[in-house]
Amino acid sequence: MNRQVVMKIIKHCSQTFPTTATGFVVGMDAKSTLEITNSFPFPTVDAPVTDTHHDNNAVSNHAAAAPRHKANTVYQNEMIRKLREVNVDANNVGWYTSANLGNFVNMNMIENQYHYQKELNERTVAIVHDVSRSSQGSLSLRAFRLSPAFMLAYKENKFTTE
């Protein structure tokens, strides 16, 4: 992963903390190595205001589901088209999200990664930056994929969170 990408992800996740931050990563799949060369945050989604107060969970849920939103898919494709216009090799190779104290495995994360691996490429990754753990002194940045067995179980509705 390019150093610039690491810095951009850290900055975006830190600025939105404690709300979930999401974005997509571009690069190249060169033989057995996935090279991540750039990242872009997804546009923010305004959550509906209920009972005249701001609900942080609603905002966080909208942000967590952002990678699957149709508008963001269009945004990703437009950004990749523009990168190619200036002769930059760019393919959508995954997405990123923020976490708080290791808490990131939830249905939004699973659905997002399933969507990416099913619709784009089985080699796409989910990058998770844990803002809280990173603030304690060591960078917490991890990459994940769903296994083929899990993809099949999820497709056949044999997976539950219970």
Residue 108, pLDDT score: 84
Residue 56 confidence class, pLDDT cut points 50, 70, 90? very low
Residue 55, pLDDT score: 47
75-128: pLDDT as tens digits: 888 888 888 888 887 788 999 999 888 778 788 888 889 988 998 888 899 999
Residue 52, pLDDT score: 41
Residue 161 reports pLDDT greater than 70: no
- Higher-confidence residue: 26 or 45? 26
Q: What is the mean pLDDT of residues 124-147?
A: 90
Contacts by residues 65-70 (CB-CB < 8 Å, ≥ 24 positions apart): 65/108, 65/111, 65/112, 66/22, 66/42, 67/22, 67/24, 67/42, 67/95, 67/112, 67/115, 67/116, 68/111, 68/112, 68/115, 69/42, 69/45
Instruction: State both tokens at 100.
Output: 């708080």
Q: What is the mean pLDDT of residues 20-34?
A: 88
Residue 16 reports pLDDT greater than 70: yes
> 125: buried, middle or exposed (CB in 10 Å: 19+, 13-18, 0-12)?
buried
Question: Where are any strands of DSSP class E within 10-87?
Answer: 22-30, 33-41
Residue 59 confidence class, pLDDT cut points 50, 70, 90? very low
Lowest mean pLDDT, pick from 5-9, 64-68, 157-161: 64-68
* Mean pLDDT of the chain, nearest integer: 82
Give the rounded percent of residues in the chain with a pLDDT score beyond 90. 30
How many residues in total does the chain contain? 162
